[in-house]
Amino acid sequence: MLNEKAEIRAGVLLSGRGSNFRAIVQHEQAGYFRKLRVVCVASNKAGAPGLAFAADKDIVCLDKCAADFESLADFEQYIVTEMKRLGVDLLILAGYMRIVGKTLLDAWPCAIVNIHPSLLPSFPGLHAHAQTLRYGVKVSGCTVHFVDAGLDSGPIIGQRTVPMLDTDTEETLSQRILEQEHELYSECLKRITEQAWSIRERTVFFDF
Ligand code: GRF
């Protein structure tokens, strides 16, 4: 159980901008977490801008990307080997734009989390904001969930809502949701690392 450990070491996987990664580390630096410590970051894409944020911090930046390997499974094995060497207990996906394969899922059972910019189970997968606008819903938001073998389908840890505006474009909606993502992700990470929880069926229950 994650929350039984005195310190929980986290690795982050991203693909691009990395604003969620930055927000989590900033919360950590501000003393928000009692146990969580981000120890390393990696990207499947070479030169992902988000990696730069690790540069002057005590965070190991893994230097290989998916293109350095013959298959996604080989890239995942590299992540597992390097992150386990650093004692990673929890894998945080922060804008990681690949399906998570069996290699990662087996290495961190019930210990991989993701954030998605919609109220799941609505609008999973790519282009969530465009899907949201096209459907015409009146409320949207973001979801933090455990990762399973499906597409954005794992047990939900937390959600925040954002009202839709008639004037919304993909840009304005994603910006408004992103502000909530930056708070929600750290809030959920705090809960799963500091509180007792369990999953029954597919519902995450917190004991207090
Ligand atoms: C976020 O909207 C997140 O919900 C989604 O990808 C985006 C990543 O943004 N999974 P950033 O790289 O964290 O800025």
- Spatial CB neighbours of 70, under 8 Å, sequence gap ≥ 6: none
CA of 172 to the centre of ligand 1 (A): 14
Q: Which pLDDT score is estimated for 1?
A: 74
| Residue nearest atom 14 in ligand 1 by C-alpha distance | 19
Ligand 1 contact via 141 beta carbon (within 6 Å): no
Ligand 1 contact via 17 beta carbon (within 6 Å): yes
Helix %, strand %, coil % of the chain (to 5): 35, 25, 40
pLDDT above 70: percentage of residues in the chain: 100
Question: Cis before residue 121, ω within 30 degrees of 0?
Answer: yes
* Catalytic residue status for 116: yes
> Among 41, 120, 178, 189, which is best to mutate for testing ligand 1, by the most ligand atoms less than 8 A from CB?
178
Mean pLDDT for all residues in the chain? 97
pLDDT per residue over 10-60, tens digit each? 999 999 999 999 999 999 999 999 999 999 999 999 999 999 999 999 999
pLDDT per residue over 154-164, tens digit each? 999 999 999 99
Q: Which pLDDT score is estimated for 17?
A: 97
Residue 95 predicted with pLDDT over 80: yes
Tokens, residue 139: 């409320």
Ligand 1 contact via 158 beta carbon (within 6 Å): no
Counting Cβ atoms within 10 Å, is residue 200 exposed (0-12), middle (13-18) or buried (19+)?
Answer: exposed
Ligand 1, residue 142: give the atom nearest the CA: 4
CA of 153 to the centre of ligand 1 (A): 17
**What span, in angstroms and rounded, lies between the C-alpha atoms of 101 and 96?**
12
Block residue for tokens 């989590």 = 24
80 Rama class: left (phi>0) / alpha (psi -120 to 50) / beta? alpha
CA of 151 to the centre of ligand 1 (A): 15
| Bridge pairing between strands 90-93 and 112-116 | parallel
Counting Cβ atoms within 10 Å, is residue 17 exposed (0-12), middle (13-18) or buried (19+)?
Answer: middle
